[in-house]
A = this chain, B = another copy of it.
């Protein structure tokens, strides 16, 4: 659909990435809440005003790129063959996210640790996930043979919420193991306990 990828766009991307980099460095040096937006702006060489134009909130310095991942998740789930179960479709979606994040595992671990350690970040992350869940509801309802209506079906919503809960569980344990455990296996273990 949209594929011009202007020079302007790319340079903006670069600026954003650089700001995120300096922010993460500062967060690692001083901690998240001890770092002010003014500091980030100063070290990144932009005005505070522009920093807020780029990111809107301090949390989005860390959680900002997740919107794109959410779209990928929904698209991947929707693209699964109709005979694939809701469970497997969702697993495929999360697998796609994990493999397509475009970061090194160390970077992912760093960001995840930051998020799990800071309540405001965790809250923001959760909020975004909620949007993903809402977007997935009609997709999963269709896959379960339920006619999407005004108010979502409890079964579909519960199933989605459960998968997210297990993904969260796996993520948190992965972080607490310092990235040394296999996230897929953790996810399977969590889900196995749920599904008998």
Contact = CB atoms under 8 A, between A and B. Distances in A.
Interface in A156-196: 156-159, 161-162, 164-166, 168-170, 172-173, 176-177, 186, 189-196
Most chain B CB atoms below 10 A, which of A130, A154, A157, A168 = A154
B162 A194 contact: yes
Taken together, the copies of this chain in the complex come to 2
Contacts of A14: none
A157 B193 CA distance: 9
Q: Is the interface of A mostly helix, strand, loop or mixed?
A: helix
A131 to B, nearest CB: 10
A151 interface: yes
Contacts of A127: 119, 122-123
Contacts of A196: 195-196
Size class of the A contact interface (CB-based, 8 Å) = 35 or more
B161 A176 contact: no
Contact of A161 (B119, B144, B155, B166): B166
A133 B119 CA distance: 15
Nearest to A166: B158
A15 to B, nearest CB: 28
A144 B192 CA distance: 13
Nearest to A120: B123
Given A126-B126, A127-B122, A195-B195, A169 B158 contact: yes
Given A151-B173, A161-B169, 5 more contacts: A123-B127, A151-B176, A157-B169, A157-B172, A194-B195
| Interface pairs A-B: 4 shortest CB-CB | A158-B190, A155-B193, A123-B123, A161-B165
11 contacts: A123-B126, A123-B127, A151-B176, A155-B190, A156-B193, A158-B165, A158-B166, A158-B194, A159-B194, A162-B165, A164-B165
